[in-house]
């Protein structure tokens, strides 16, 4: 199109997969109540877009833009649900709940209901009733389906400029459609240690429950009780995992042929590359969902490439 200045393709797919690893109940005579077997089925459907634009094309100067975008939807269509198992199999972030109708990598959260008069955390049960410290939640219906922890939308935008022997490439990426959990609750069992930023906003006196949702400082024994365990795996600690990042900037210079030949080489190129320059997040903590506790540092690399 447009004298080959615009190029690309669009693909759509709809695939069914069988014999996937999923948890299945087995006879206790094997020594286990359940095991991972090839009994799962799911479908994947989505599309991929690849578009390129040669904005400027001349002898000395070229400017190209390339846009990639992928979107995927997957759902589990069959799995053994006769005994879904312990409730924490659904709420643990790294666990797989394998529920028909859910995407792969789905996870669930307890529904946080703020603080009581003494600064203790509260959650809602399956009847939308508030459960205080000392209570318990055992019904899966009490949980909130957070969706998948794996992104289902990916995109990249690449700008490439070439001027004679000098080239500049800037890669910007996007991922989204998923959620993540950032467990940042203060745990006295590991004191002294770093404390979360919102520790200063914790409940300290009566009436603070109307001003903050950060529980009071608890004792090590209290931290192991159900409500405090629910707090870690509650929707208070989940948010959108979408992010946009300047993933890579590369500046390169290809030495002219006459210079390279004098050095008894066939080619010689020097480049300076920077990775992970900037990240824009869309969660309430403004942390990188890929590495929320320890930010991924920016790295700069000098490369020399030659052939003889």
What ranges do the domains of the chain cover? Answer: 6-307
- By CB atoms closer than 10 A (0-12, 13-18, 19+), residue 136 is exposed
Q: What is the pLDDT of residue 101?
A: 86
Token digits of residue 100? 């028909």
At which residue do the structure tokens 């500046």 appear? 251
Q: What is the pLDDT of residue 95?
A: 63
Cβ neighbours of residue 290 under 8 Å, at least 6 residues apart? 243, 296
Q: What is the pLDDT of residue 135?
A: 83
Answer yes or no: are the C-beta atoms of 17 and 42 closer than 8 Å.
yes
Per-residue pLDDT of the chain (308 residues; tens, 9 = 90+): 667 789 999 999 999 888 777 666 666 777 776 667 777 788 999 999 999 999 999 999 999 999 999 999 999 888 766 555 566 667 766 666 678 888 888 889 999 999 999 999 999 999 999 998 878 888 888 999 999 999 999 999 999 999 999 999 999 999 999 999 998 777 666 655 677 778 888 899 999 999 999 888 877 777 667 777 788 889 999 999 999 999 999 999 999 888 888 888 888 999 999 999 999 999 999 999 999 888 999 999 999 998 88
Q: What is the pLDDT of residue 98?
A: 74
Token digits of residue 119? 């600064």
Q: Is the peptide bond before 207 cis (omega within 30 degrees of 0)?
A: no
Q: Calculate the alpha carbon distances from 64 to 111, 168, 234, 270, 273 in Å.
A: 48, 11, 46, 21, 19
Strand partners, 249: 170, 274
pTM for this prediction: 0.84
Q: What is the pLDDT of residue 264?
A: 82
CA-CA distance, 117 to 209, in Å (whole number)? 6
Phi/psi at 56 (5° precision): -130, 130
Token digits of residue 34? 């359940």
């Amino acid at each position: 199109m447009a004298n080959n200045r615009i190029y690309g393709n669009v693909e759509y797919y709809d695939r069914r997969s069988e014999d996937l690893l999923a948890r299945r109940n087995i006879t206790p005579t094997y020594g286990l109540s359940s095991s991972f077997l090839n009994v799962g089925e799911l479908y994947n459907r989505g599309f991929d877009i690849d578009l390129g634009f040669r904005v400027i094309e001349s002898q000395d100067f070229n400017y190209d833009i390339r846009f990639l975008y992928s979107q995927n939807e997957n759902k589990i269509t069959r799995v053994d649900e006769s005994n879904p198992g312990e409730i924490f199999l659904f709420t643990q972030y790294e666990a797989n709940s394998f529920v028909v109708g859910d995407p792969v990598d789905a996870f669930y959260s307890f529904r946080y209901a703020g603080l009581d008069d003494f600064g203790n955390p509260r959650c809602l049960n399956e009847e939308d009733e508030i459960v205080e410290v000392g209570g318990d939640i055992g019904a899966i219906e009490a949980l909130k389906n957070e969706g998948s922890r794996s992104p289902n939308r990916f995109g990249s935008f690449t700008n490439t400029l070439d001027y004679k022997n000098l080239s500049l490439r800037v890669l910007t990426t996007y991922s989204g459609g998923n959620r993540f959990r950032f467990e940042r609750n203060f745990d006295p069992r590991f004191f002294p240690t770093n404390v979360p930023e919102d520790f200063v906003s914790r409940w300290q006196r009566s009436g603070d429950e109307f001003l903050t949702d950060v529980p009071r400082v608890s004792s090590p024994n209290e931290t192991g009780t159900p409500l405090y365990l629910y707090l870690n795996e509650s929707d208070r600690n989940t948010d959108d995992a979408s992010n946009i990042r300047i993933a890579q900037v590369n500046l390169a210079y290809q030495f002219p042929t006459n210079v390279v030949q004098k050095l008894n080489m066939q080619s010689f190129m020097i480049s300076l590359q920077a990775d992970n320059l900037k990240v824009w997040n869309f969660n309430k903590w403004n942390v990188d969902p890929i590495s929320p506790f320890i930010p991924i540092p920016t790295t700069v690399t000098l490369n020399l490439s030659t052939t003889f």
